[in-house]
Amino acid sequence: MAMKLNTRYLKSFVNEHELKAIEPQVLAAHRTLTEKSGLGNDYLGWTTLPKDYDREEFSRIKAAARKIQSDTDLLLVIGIGGSYLGARAALELLRSPYYNNLKKDTPDIYFVGNSISPDYLNTVLALCEGRRVSVNIISKSGTTTEPALAFRVFRELLEQRYGKEEARGRIYATTDKARGTLKELSDREGYETFVIPDDVGGRYSVLTAVGLLPMAVAGIDIDAVMGGAAAAMDDLAVGDLCKNDCYKYAAYRNILYRKGKQIELLVSYEPAFTMMNEWFKQLFGESEGKDQKGLFPASVVFSTDLHSMGQFIQEGSRCMFETVVDIQNSTKDFFVKDDPENLDGLNFLSNQNMSVVNHKAMQGTILAHTEGGVPNMVLEVPGINEHEFGYMVYFFEKACAISGYLLAVNPFNQPGVESYKKNMFALLGKPGYEDQRAELEAKLG
Amino acid sequence: MAMKLNTRYLKSFVNEHELKAIEPQVLAAHRTLTEKSGLGNDYLGWTTLPKDYDREEFSRIKAAARKIQSDTDLLLVIGIGGSYLGARAALELLRSPYYNNLKKDTPDIYFVGNSISPDYLNTVLALCEGRRVSVNIISKSGTTTEPALAFRVFRELLEQRYGKEEARGRIYATTDKARGTLKELSDREGYETFVIPDDVGGRYSVLTAVGLLPMAVAGIDIDAVMGGAAAAMDDLAVGDLCKNDCYKYAAYRNILYRKGKQIELLVSYEPAFTMMNEWFKQLFGESEGKDQKGLFPASVVFSTDLHSMGQFIQEGSRCMFETVVDIQNSTKDFFVKDDPENLDGLNFLSNQNMSVVNHKAMQGTILAHTEGGVPNMVLEVPGINEHEFGYMVYFFEKACAISGYLLAVNPFNQPGVESYKKNMFALLGKPGYEDQRAELEAKLG
């Protein structure tokens, strides 16, 4: 069984002919993508990655993970954006949001180098005390401010604690195959290195060493992850809108956008999905948010957020639609016990599976929200495991590419990310940015 | 020094006369609130709470916290929505997002009863193994599904593990002062109880026992929290738009809404602020999202999310404005060391405070985003501590009330939250909902 799109609840919002009407554009997007003729066509490595990856490196990833498991209590993963979100999403979804709190036979994993907060950095330094630490630095260039700053700190910590020689064996660099500061340093120091392919952008990189090494360290079966992605690659190759749920999803979200919806809310009913939401938001937000266009990606985790954002979704501004990720089977169920007193009035749930209760909450919510005027689509995912994770990643990646072409943007660049960096460098007095500094400071007053 | 609103960067988006033009409405909202003459005027207890609270109960909260600290390794806080978000936000902001991972002399605190996920529940049960556990159940009625289900589970765990008698001493109920299932049960069993006042709604309840008991257990100085809120109560009482930054903030967000902005993005540069964002989203989303109106509240944590949502904010749909929470001083700084090799090119930051780097990133981002067409306001907060937290809570609460009256809604009800519950009950076969069940099931197909 594979991931499926259920559009039953869209009926009162989208007419059947609308899908027919957008079909030629979807097929054009399909051709653009498969013929590699569109904007951003230098970054299509992800399309064949699930089958066409470096087997030798894949084995080295597994070997490195075993070594880290054997000599490390705490792995620091240094990276930002696409070099951070995918691995963390996998860890929380496939192991647990409380992975670092649970007893287990794999190392703790903390993500650093994704902010400039000294409080955060000091906290992670405290967590490293008395623990055997290794580092996976993930950066294409090695000069991105946030990870580079963190790497300075933790490389020094390892070298002071273990000596230069042992520290070298505790640093794993995921970086460019040939060029850049981090690659040069790694070659000189003899760090084991893994490759960020040239044709795979950051937000599409979770199925490369970027995501796979931290996953493997956490005991996640990365063969099964790649197998799931390969299954999606096969299933979602067909250029027929009726037979391709990934394309249908891309089509409907564009139909809703063109009707004036401005926000797509990704909804799930599992707290473990929280970081998948963040991964999704980067994927779609960074791919589509350009040329003053794009659906604003937001997320909620129900039923938690039914008691915070639920009121707004039910009755507030009608600016959004919902895409519900319906995880159809829990990893392990829990049965509600009978209480002879029934003071809380919950005995109508006695001996009921909590997963059934959760599922009825989902159905009840979908009906309530559509009744309230919010279009709902449902992505049915059979369960939470490595295969489904890999499948879902590929599904969303391809949906995002097709969706971006439907929107008529380049889904693979991110020119806007440089703007804040340039200003920050100028304000910090980085050599080469002197001219802008005075001008910016005048604006700050 | 107190929290201040900086509107310098709004100049190219809002003309001076616009503030003048909305002033009479703000003053009307001020009168409506102070005269208690508006919609929802049964729920204005929060306005005077920082000074007018039950001192005897406050002492009992501190005593209970000391007892829990002395006999408990892990406190479970059972609650959803407003009975969950405030305490968690305080814990993460004032202690640490990694509070449960750090060595400390106060108990771990986990929040449960805020979802229906069996995976989540099983995880928390695993965390309880071998630990001394106490429970703080927070529910006005005692019958809300999520917390009531969790309380069934953990009450049984305590009774099995410690016997009925000791279990009673490990359960603390925050509930209605006189009525309801939980109050009845507490009185019968002899649980220590704390009060959710009748005139304080869930999302405004963080400064009652709802938020204060978990905070006190975490070692947070709740006197200082109340002191900060009391200072805000004084500072923000003045019915003069020029002298009241809280009212100005409410005014500007309504001006921007009426210009067509649909999303308010709450922005901070501290990962520890993540759950404050969630608290804010409930406060504003649930207060304003009704009658098909309201700004959709969303949030980002920079610089992390500059590498995910940054592209969209810089260049995507121009549907949002940003409210930046500028925390002006870090708890403890970190200085960037010089690296004689300077391979990463970061030596222009040598001996620099990371908090300064973080602040320049903020300034650079504000200039970049306003340049890109996104209005920015800045709420300047002197630092992270109990006083500032209390101040900020009151500031946002009052801003939300005034803002809701400007929007012409009832800022204190949440009628839409019932819709999903009714459907869920019917689908689960709860007695009394039989009629709706068949109808709903037909819609599900």
Task: Determine the pLDDT at residue A265.
Answer: 98
- Do B105 and B203 belong together in one domain? yes
Distance in angstroms (rounded) separating the CA atoms of residues A413 and A424: 21
Distance in angstroms (rounded) separating the CA atoms of residues A294 and A277: 17
- Assigned token pair, B386: 């109990």
Phi, psi of B264 (to 5 degrees): -105, 120
Residues A233-255, mean pLDDT to the nearest whole number: 97
Indicate the pLDDT class of residue A383, thresholds 50, 70 and 90: very high
**Burial zone of B25 (CB within 10 Å; 0-12 exposed, 13-18 middle, 19+ buried):** middle
- Assigned token pair, A327: 């995880």
Residues A130-141, mean pLDDT to the nearest whole number: 97
Question: What sections of A194-329 are H helices per DSSP?
Answer: 209-217, 222-235, 245-258, 274-288, 310-315
Secondary structure (3-state) at B325: strand
Per-residue pLDDT for A157 more than 80?
yes
Which of the listed residues B178, B207, B222 is the one where a domain comes to its end?
A: B222
Secondary structure (3-state) at B173: strand
Secondary structure (3-state) at B185: helix
Does residue A439 belong to the interface with chain B, where contact is any CB pair within 8 Å? no
Other Cβ atoms closer than 10 A to B66: 12
Q: Does residue A437 belong to any structural domain of this protein?
A: no
The H-or-E segment that residue B301 falls in is strand B296-301
Mention every residue, 6+ apart, whose C-beta is less than 8 A from residue A306: A361, A365, B417, B420
Query: Of B98, B103, B317, which has the smallest distance from its Cβ to A294's Cβ?
Result: B317
- Do A112 and A244 belong together in one domain? no
Does residue B45 belong to the interface with chain A, where contact is any CB pair within 8 Å? no
Does residue B350 belong to the interface with chain A, where contact is any CB pair within 8 Å? no
Residue whose C-alpha is closest to residue A47's, from A177, A207, A245: A207
Per-residue pLDDT for A206 more than 80?
yes
- Assigned token pair, A191: 């760090």
- Assigned token pair, A47: 């399309």
Chain A: give the shortest CA distance to residue B120, in Å.
7
Q: Which residues of chain A have a CB within 8 Å of the CB of B272?
A: 117, 119-120
Question: What sections of B266-413 are H helices per DSSP?
Answer: 274-288, 310-315, 354-371, 386-407
Task: Determine the pLDDT at residue A253.
Answer: 98
Distance in angstroms (rounded) separating the CA atoms of residues B395 and B389: 10
Distance in angstroms (rounded) separating the CA atoms of residues B248 and B241: 6
Q: Does residue B419 belong to any structural domain of this protein?
A: no
- Do B99 and B238 belong together in one domain? no
CB contact under 8 A, B149 and A286: no
Task: Determine the pLDDT at residue B445.
Answer: 81
- Do A175 and A315 belong together in one domain? no
- Do A50 and A168 belong together in one domain? yes
Number of domains in chain A: 2
Print the domain residue range for A282: 4-36+226-407
Task: Determine the pLDDT at residue B234.
Answer: 98
CA atoms within a 13 Å half-sphere pointing along the CA-CB vector of A413: 14
Q: Where are the beta strands (DSSP E) in A95-184?
A: 108-112, 133-138, 171-175
Chain B: give the shortest CA distance to residue A148, in Å.
7
Q: In whole angstroms, how far apart are CA B191 and each of A109, A342, B187, B215?
A: 39, 18, 7, 20
- Do A15 and A53 belong together in one domain? no
- The residues facing A174 across adjacent strands are A138, A194
Task: Determine the pLDDT at residue A305.
Answer: 96
CB contact under 8 A, A424 and B115: no
Q: Does residue A27 belong to any structural domain of this protein?
A: yes
- Assigned token pair, B353: 């405070």
Return the number of CB contacts < 8 Å for A and B.
440
Distance in angstroms (rounded) separating the CA atoms of residues A329 and A323: 18
Q: Does residue A418 belong to any structural domain of this protein?
A: no
CA atoms within a 13 Å half-sphere pointing along the CA-CB vector of A274: 16
Q: In whole angstroms, how far apart are CA B28 and each of B234, B249, B295, B403?
A: 19, 16, 21, 11
Distance in angstroms (rounded) separating the CA atoms of residues B326 and B388: 12
Does residue A104 belong to the interface with chain B, where contact is any CB pair within 8 Å? no
Chain A: give the shortest CA distance to residue B274, in Å.
12
CB contact under 8 A, A296 and B416: no
Q: Does residue A196 belong to any structural domain of this protein?
A: yes
- The residues facing A108 across adjacent strands are A74
Chain B: give the shortest CA distance to residue A239, in Å.
29
Between residues 122 and 141 of chain B, which touch chain A (CB distance below 8 Å)?
A: 122-124, 126-127
Residues A54-73: pLDDT tens digits?
A: 999 999 999 999 999 999 99
> b/e for B211-244, b at 16 or more Cβ within 10 A?
bbbbbbbbbbebebbbbbbbbbbebbeeeebeeb
Stretches in chain B below the pLDDT threshold 50? none
Distance in angstroms (rounded) separating the CA atoms of residues B5 and B380: 6
pTM of the model: 0.98
Question: CATH no. for residue B143?
Answer: 3.40.50.10490
- Assigned token pair, A31: 């051709």
Between residues 250 and 289 of chain B, which touch chain A (CB distance below 8 Å)?
A: 262-263, 269-272, 278, 281-282, 285-286, 288-289
Mention every residue, 6+ apart, whose C-beta is less than 8 A from residue B178: none
- Do B177 and B233 belong together in one domain? no
The H-or-E segment that residue A326 falls in is strand A320-327
Task: Determine the pLDDT at residue B331.
Answer: 80
User: What crossing angle do the helices spanning B417-427 and A354-371 adopt, rounded to 10°?
Assistant: 130
- Do A195 and A262 belong together in one domain? no
- Do B148 and B21 belong together in one domain? no
Which of the listed residues B178, B194, B222 is the one where a domain comes to its end?
A: B222
Residues A64-109: pLDDT tens digits?
A: 999 999 999 999 999 999 999 999 999 999 999 999 999 999 999 9
Does residue A48 belong to the interface with chain B, where contact is any CB pair within 8 Å? no
**Angle of CA points A183, A188, A190, to nearest 5°:** 90
Chain B: give the shortest CA distance to residue A229, in Å.
23
Distance in angstroms (rounded) separating the CA atoms of residues A369 and B262: 19
Does residue B320 belong to the interface with chain A, where contact is any CB pair within 8 Å? yes
- Do A250 and A384 belong together in one domain? yes
Residue whose C-alpha is closest to residue B111's, from A288, A271, A291: A271
Per-residue pLDDT for A329 more than 90?
no
- Assigned token pair, B34: 């102070």
Task: Determine the pLDDT at residue B330.
Answer: 81
Task: Determine the pLDDT at residue A318.
Answer: 98
| Least confident span in A317-321, A326-330, B179-183, B201-205 | A326-330
Per-residue pLDDT for A244 more than 80?
yes
Q: Which residues of chain A have a CB within 8 Å of the CB of B271?
A: 115, 117, 119-120
Indicate the pLDDT class of residue A306, thresholds 50, 70 and 90: very high
- Assigned token pair, B75: 């406190």
Q: Is A371 annotated in the active site?
A: no
- Do B309 and B372 belong together in one domain? yes
Task: Determine the pLDDT at residue B263.
Answer: 98
Q: Does residue A415 belong to any structural domain of this protein?
A: no
Distance in angstroms (rounded) separating the CA atoms of residues A129 and A142: 26
Residues A5-20, mean pLDDT to the nearest whole number: 97
- Do B78 and B188 belong together in one domain? yes
Q: Is A23 annotated in the active site?
A: no
Task: Determine the pLDDT at residue B78.
Answer: 98
Between residues 201 and 230 of chain A, which touch chain B (CB distance below 8 Å)?
A: 202-203
Residue whose C-alpha is closest to residue A212's, from A396, A50, A398: A50
Secondary structure (3-state) at B140: coil
Distance in angstroms (rounded) separating the CA atoms of residues A417 and A316: 32
Phi, psi of A264 (to 5 degrees): -105, 125
Distance in angstroms (rounded) separating the CA atoms of residues A63 and A46: 24
Longest dimension (CA), chain B: 77
Interface test with B, best of A143, A358, A367 (most B CBs within 10 A): A367
Indicate the pLDDT class of residue A330, thresholds 50, 70 and 90: confident
The H-or-E segment that residue B131 falls in is none
**Angle of CA points A231, A236, A241, to nearest 5°:** 155
Q: Does residue B417 belong to any structural domain of this protein?
A: no
Q: Which residues of chain B have a CB within 8 Å of the CB of A433?
A: none
- In the numeric block, the tokens 């592209």 are attached to B311
Query: Of B333, B357, B419, which has the smallest distance from its Cβ to A368's Cβ?
Result: B419
CB contact under 8 A, B304 and A331: no
Query: Of B117, B272, B334, which has the smallest distance from its Cβ to A358's Cβ?
Result: B117
Name the average pLDDT for chain A. Answer: 97
Residue whose C-alpha is closest to residue A176's, from A191, A195, A159: A195
Q: Return left, alpha or beta for B249; rule: phi > 0 is left, psi -120 to 50 is alpha, else beta.
A: alpha
CB contact under 8 A, B289 and A313: yes
- Assigned token pair, A203: 């937000």
Query: Of B100, B282, B343, which has the smallest distance from its Cβ to A181's Cβ?
Result: B343
Chain B: give the shortest CA distance to residue A27, in Å.
25
Which of the listed residues B222, B246, B264 is the one where a domain comes to its end?
A: B222
Other Cβ atoms closer than 10 A to A295: 26
Q: Does residue A303 belong to any structural domain of this protein?
A: yes
Q: Which residues of chain B have a CB within 8 Å of the CB of A340?
A: none
Share of chain A above pLDDT 70, in %: 100
- The residues facing B268 across adjacent strands are B301, B325
**Angle of CA points A238, A240, A243, to nearest 5°:** 80
CB contact under 8 A, A348 and B126: no
From the centroid of its chain, how far is CA A95?
15
